């Protein structure tokens, strides 16, 4: 009976150790996810700004017609 109780306590101790380790790992993973989301938000804002700048450059500024590469094809083509 004493040995059964000792075995049970050892098993409980082992489970508590595993649980503590898993909680630590979950906290670390949550922190990683938060950091990645912050980085993703930053990258998304930068991307949106680049798209806005590209659209501003490609749109006519003075009301003139937009330039196309095919308009600059030499006559022999």
12-31 pLDDT per residue, tens:
999 999 999 999 999 999 99
The answer to whether residue 33 is domain-embedded is yes
User: Residues with Cβ < 8 Å from 66, sequence gap 6 or more?
Assistant: 58, 59, 60
Of all residues in the chain, the percent with pLDDT exceeding 90 is: 68
The answer to whether residue 9 is domain-embedded is no
| Model confidence band, residue 37 (pLDDT cutoffs 50, 70, 90) | very high
Whole-prediction pTM value?
A: 0.60
The answer to whether residue 2 is domain-embedded is no
Q: Which domain holds residue 51?
A: 25-56
Q: How far apart are CA 77 and CA 52, in angstroms?
A: 34
The answer to whether residue 43 is domain-embedded is yes
Tally of domains within the chain:
1
What pLDDT shows up at residue 74?
72
The answer to whether residue 44 is domain-embedded is yes
What pLDDT shows up at residue 20?
99
| Model confidence band, residue 65 (pLDDT cutoffs 50, 70, 90) | low
């Amino acid at each position: 009976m004493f040995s059964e109780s000792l075995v049970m306590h050892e098993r409980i101790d082992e489970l508590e150790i595993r649980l503590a380790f898993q909680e630590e790992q979950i906290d670390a993973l949550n922190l990683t996810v938060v950091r990645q989301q912050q980085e993703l938000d930053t990258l998304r804002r930068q991307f949106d700004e680049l798209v806005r700048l590209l659209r501003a450059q490609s749109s006519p500024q003075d009301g003139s017609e937009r330039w196309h590469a095919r308009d600059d094809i030499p006559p022999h083509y």
